Structure 1
Amino acid sequence: MREIARLFGNRAAAYASFRPQYPSALFDWLAANSPGQERALDIACGNGQASRPLLGRFHQVLACDGSLEQLRAAADLAGIDCFAADAEALPLGEASLDLIVVAQALHWFATPTFFAETRRLLRPGGLFCAWCYGLLRIEPGLDEALDHFYWHTLGGYWPSGRASIDAGYADIRPPFARIAVPDFAIELEWDLQQLLGYLSTWSAVQKLQQASGRNPLDELQPRLAALWGDGQQKRFIRWPLHFVAGHPS
């Protein structure tokens, strides 16, 4: 966990600027399926992408991350109670939460110890919901270029937990019955520079650059630019979301 926190902490500012936002309907669903709306916790909150939408839906929103740099880089966490902590040992009381969410991070710490911690923290009937998104989809030519970059250029540089994202979290088996979540997806329009900014936040990009001294995006950019056309043009981008959800308590 320390290595992961350091890796994302190194690019905290880019992470805050370029990570896509989650659909509002997801947070409506989370509130509606929690036993109450008193207290929610976002674990591995990063820059607060999943924390901020919980405001207004829950009386108190807490957010924690293993990286102080991530918390410091967040543009706006006003109204959210933030703290740095290990996901497997959280300084909160038993049966004190209605909802726990983990956005794009469960694969780093999906251990028996972590799931025992969620059971300790959630009230009876409390909801646990984690989600991830894998490769974005744009259009066939760009998708092919991004797939090659992901699987071949970066293939040996992804941290081991990334395989769970590739599996859509199907390989994570929590010690509770999973419940179905609607088919939510991130959908937005970006220009080419926004896409490249997002790609710069990938952990494998950082690891390859550290290992070789070269930025792999310098090689990818000309190919994407040729396929994109006018770099200022906005293109529709979609990331399907994959879930692990249930009531551990």
Structure 2
Amino acid sequence: MGDSVQLFSIRSEDYAQFRPTYPDSLFRWLAEQCAQPRCALDIAAGSGQATLPLLAHFDTVLACDASPDQLISGRTWQSAQRFAARAEQLPLRDGLADLIVVAQALHWFATPAFFSEATRALNPNGLFCAWCYSLLRIDPAVDAVIARLHGETLRGYWPQGRASVDAGYRDIQVPFETIEPPDFAIEALWNLPQLLGYLRTWSAVRQWQQAHGKDPVTQLEPELASLWGDPDRQRRVRWPLHFLAGYPGR
């Protein structure tokens, strides 16, 4: 866990700026699955991409992260209550949460100890929902360049657990019966500088840069620019979401 904390503490501001936002429909659906939407807990909250949308649907929203740097980033957290803690050691009373979410982070700590702790913190009818997204989709030509960066240039530089993300969490076994949420996806309209900024938030990009003393994204810029055309032109970007969800206490 320490390695993941270090990776995402270094560029918390960039991470918050360039990471895409989740669809509002996802958070409405999550609230609808809770008989009493009183308390939601976002574990490994990062800079709050999943925390803030929950505020519209729950009386109390808690944001937990092992990295204090993420929790004190420049983002306005509104009424969300933040605390630093390991996912496997939550300083919360039994049965407090009606909902626990883990957005793009379960692969760091998908252990029996964590699932036991999450079950303890959930009320008996509480919903657990983790999700992830892997490679974005724009168009076949741009997608091929990004896939080459991800799978060839950066091979061996991804942190442990990334394979689970690329597998859509299908390789993670959970100790409860899962449910299948509706099809949700992240969508955005981005220009080329926004795409490049996002690619530079990849943890493997930073690791490769440290090893080679240059930026692998900069090396791809001419090719991407040729495919993109006007760099200010906005294109639709899409990331399908993959879920592990269920009611551990039932």
Give the TM-score category using the shorter length.
over 0.9
Give the Cα–Cα distance (whole angstroms) in 2 for the partners of residues 133 and 102 of structure 1.
12
Deviation at 1:67, TM superposition (A): 1.1
- Which residue does the alignment assign to 1:196? 196
- Post-superposition, which runs of at least 4 consecutive aligned residues in structure 1 deviate over 3 A? none
- Which residue does the alignment assign to 1:122? 122
- Which residue does the alignment assign to 1:137? 137
CA deviation vs aligned residue, 1:31-64 (integer Å, no higher than 9, x gap): 0002311100000001101000000200000001
1:98, 1:126 within 8 Å by CA — same for their partners in 2?
A: yes
Deviation at 1:243, TM superposition (A): 0.1
- Other structure's SS at 2:72 match: helix
Equivalences for residues 31-42 of structure 1 within 5 A = 31-42=31-42
**Structure 1 residues 74 and 181: CA distance shift in structure 2, 3 A:** farther
- Which residue does the alignment assign to 1:148? 148
Gaps of 5+ in 2: none
Give the Cα–Cα distance (whole angstroms) in 2 for the partners of residues 6 and 192 of structure 1.
28
- Which residue does the alignment assign to 2:159? 159
Give the Cα–Cα distance (whole angstroms) in 2 for the partners of residues 65 and 221 of structure 1.
34
Deviation at 1:74, TM superposition (A): 4.3
CA deviation vs aligned residue, 1:1-52 (integer Å, no higher than 9, x gap): 1110111111111001000000000000100002311100000001101000
Give the Cα–Cα distance (whole angstroms) in 2 for the partners of residues 79 and 11 of structure 1.
24
CA deviation vs aligned residue, 1:50-91 (integer Å, no higher than 9, x gap): 000000200000001111111122411010000111011010
- Which residue does the alignment assign to 1:69? 69
CA deviation vs aligned residue, 1:85-110 (integer Å, no higher than 9, x gap): 10110100001110000000001100
What RMSD in Å do the two structures reach over aligned CA positions? 0.8
- Which residue does the alignment assign to 1:222? 222
1:48, 1:74 within 8 Å by CA — same for their partners in 2?
A: no
Equivalences for residues 1-249 of structure 1 within 5 A = 1-249=1-249
- Other structure's SS at 1:63 match: strand
Worse-superposed segment, 232-241 or 64-73? 64-73
- Other structure's SS at 1:73 match: coil
- Other structure's SS at 1:243 match: strand
1:35, 1:127 within 8 Å by CA — same for their partners in 2?
A: no
Amino acid at match of 2:75: A
Amino acid at match of 2:112: P
Give the Cα–Cα distance (whole angstroms) in 1 for the partners of residues 217 and 115 of structure 2.
37
Amino acid at match of 1:70: Q
Amino acid at match of 1:3: D
Deviation at 1:238, TM superposition (A): 0.3
Taking structure 1 as the reference length, what is the TM-score of the superposition? 0.98
Give the Cα–Cα distance (whole angstroms) in 2 for the partners of residues 62 and 28 of structure 1.
17
> How many equivalent pairs are there?
249
- Other structure's SS at 2:243 match: strand
**Structure 1 residues 124 and 172: CA distance shift in structure 2, 3 A:** same
Give the Cα–Cα distance (whole angstroms) in 2 for the partners of residues 220 and 110 of structure 1.
34
Amino acid at match of 1:77: W
Give the Cα–Cα distance (whole angstroms) in 2 for the partners of residues 78 and 6 of structure 1.
25
Give the Cα–Cα distance (whole angstroms) in 1 for the partners of residues 3 and 70 of structure 2.
14
Amino acid at match of 1:233: R
Give the Cα–Cα distance (whole angstroms) in 2 for the partners of residues 42 and 153 of structure 1.
33
- Other structure's SS at 1:29 match: helix
Taking structure 2 as the reference length, what is the TM-score of the superposition? 0.98
Gaps of 5+ in 1: none
Worse-superposed segment, 118-127 or 69-78? 69-78
